[in-house]
Amino acid sequence: MVITVNRPEHVSGTSIAQIVDLIRGTGVDVKLRGAITETDKLLTGATLDSREVQPGDLYAALPGANVHGAQFAQKAVESGAQAILTDPHGAELSTNCNSTLIVVPDPRAVLGAVSAAIYNNPTAQLGMVGITGTNGKTTTAYLVESAWRALGRTTGLIGTIETRIAGSVLRSSHTTPESPKLQGVLALMREHEVSHCVMEVSSHALSLHRADAIRFDTAVFTNLSQDHLDFHESMEDYFQAKATLFTPEHATTGVICIDDTWGRRLAQQSTIPTITLATPSFSDSTCATTDQTSPTAEDTPTPDWRLVTTGDKADTAFELVREGTHTGPGRLRLNSALPGEHNRINTALAALVLLASGLPVNEIERAMGARPRVPGRMEIVPLHTSTLGSADNALTPEAYVDFAHTPDAITATLTALRARADQRGGNLVAVIGAGGDRDAGKRPLMGAAAAALADVVVVTDDNPRCEDPAIIRAAVTAGAHSASQTTVLEQAGRAEGIAAAIRHLEPQDILAVLGKGHESTQTIGTETIPFDDREAIAAAWASHLGSDQEDR
């Protein structure tokens, strides 16, 4: 079932006066302005999009990159907004607005708390888990939600792919929505009697106060590697944004993977109790920053739990073994629902979330046996029976789609698929691209990561947005050429790039199309068009089989 609304049907209402008192209670200076200052009016919703205003709403008129939201204040009032929350410049732009203006220095900084109050603090009735990190947020969130459902909980999920409310789906536009929409969705979950919600918490959301007014029962840190440096000034700034989640204002307990130095720093810096995880990748390697010194060997924390594999790299079974002298259960026996070491880590983190909630080992092991389908994460695209090779060759190439769009994620995904290709005696063919108007520094690193593991790398377009696609491809290709034994091809047009990769496939080969995962559109310039990697693979494969038949 698809849900088409993103806020509850019934809201009791909060007066403008109560909102003003709430803001003043945080020590923020508030001024009431406007042609009308009726503070007894009730607010029953909130939005920062003037096109989505409903009668009774608070309209948050925020400064934007190109235009100030206050320019649409009168339109919002005409649509039924009862009050406008804005900054001093917004107040100047709204002089003739026929409504109450609530003016504060930084409206974003209070909007989360204000939105939560309007919707009557929905997370007070929800068990909340927040997951942050560069890679693995989505898969870990799906694993947690799947385990809860296996235990009979009524669940909610908010993330990159979609929002799920008691089994129904609401499409997502951001990893973490803006605070008015986020609080509205959480209130909708409460209305649908959801008991437990897991959400991805992006660094953007933490920096822009979207997750303010939510206190998570458990906060999870997966890892940190280069990404989003178009938004953050440095890796240190990126890290500190993530670290704010691990404070008493935002969470009660933390679960932290300490494989990288960022995780070890976070375990030391966290001001809440934490459960730490180390895996076979755990080492004393340093993180790529010059802003802070790395922890010394003496500072490196001993993990609370260690992931121990019980077979070869292709085996999905593993154990979590408690380290040190801690009391409580000492071992968890688990299976990963998805291939690859990185997915064993995601599974381990999800299991530790359940452990942090007080569940016994037998229930955790049973719940983690569920097999969620995570769209666009190591997702297999079925290929029809191949006519390639000899007539008695039963093998068909395997095709995978994955959202991997950072150097570390590409390495993790291709490491898993390299093992699969070796198992089949075939080559690994990878299709990669990089997004435009985003962190340009990671592009050559992405190319190098792909070329280090794949036999053939096809560099093509991702979402070029308003950048020249050829310039983006050139940066990725330059990095890919660092591996001399790898065949590197550059192909404009994503569909054409996928088709070029398929032409290189032999029956025993593995195809990995990386970067877009679950996405069903592509942004070129200012235009967003339908495009799905899974459909493009199927179409290119069908065309290739047709041409192969003709050649025969």
Token representation of residue 552: 């025969």
Ordered DSSP codes for 353-365: HHHHTT--HHHHH
Buried-exposed string 462-473: b where 16+ CB fall within 10 A, e elsewhere: bbbbebebeebb
Q: HEC profile for 49-81?
A: CHHHCCCCEEEEECECCCCEHHHHHHHHHHCCC
461 Cβ contact partners less than 8 Å away, ≥ 6 residues apart: 433, 469, 472, 473, 492, 493, 494, 497, 522, 524
Token representation of residue 299: 């500072």
Query: What is the rounded CA–CA span in Å between residue 266 and residue 150?
Result: 31
**CA 349 to each of CA 131, 258, 334, 386: distance values in angstroms, whole numbers, following the listed order:** 10, 11, 11, 39
111, 113, 115, 119: CA torsion to nearest 10:
180
Q: Which helix or strand (DSSP H or E) is residue 472 part of? A: helix 469-480
Q: Residues annotated as binding site for meso-2,6-diaminopimelate?
A: 438, 462-465, 515, 519
Ordered DSSP codes for 304-350: SEEEEE-S-TT--EEEEEE-TT--S--EEEEE-SSSSHHHHHHHHHH
What secondary structure letter does DSSP report for 28? -
Strand partners, 255: 220, 275
**Counting runs of H as helices and runs of E as strands, what totals does the chain give?**
16, 26
Q: Which helix or strand (DSSP H or E) is residue 268 part of? A: helix 261-269
What secondary structure letter does DSSP report for 210? T
Query: What is the rounded CA–CA span in Å between residue 457 and residue 486?
Result: 7
Q: Residues annotated as binding site for ATP?
A: 133-139
Backbone angles phi, psi at 357, to 5 degrees: -80, -5
Q: 339 with 317: CB under 8 angstroms?
A: no
Q: 139 with 346: CB under 8 angstroms?
A: yes
Query: What is the rounded CA–CA span in Å between residue 437 and residue 521?
Result: 17
Q: Residues annotated as binding site?
A: 48, 50, 133-139, 175-176, 202, 210, 438, 462-465, 515, 519
For residue 393, the tally of other CB atoms under 10 A from its CB is 13
Return the ∠ at Cα 34 (arms to 28 and 37), rounded to 5°: 80
Q: Which helix or strand (DSSP H or E) is residue 141 part of? A: helix 137-150
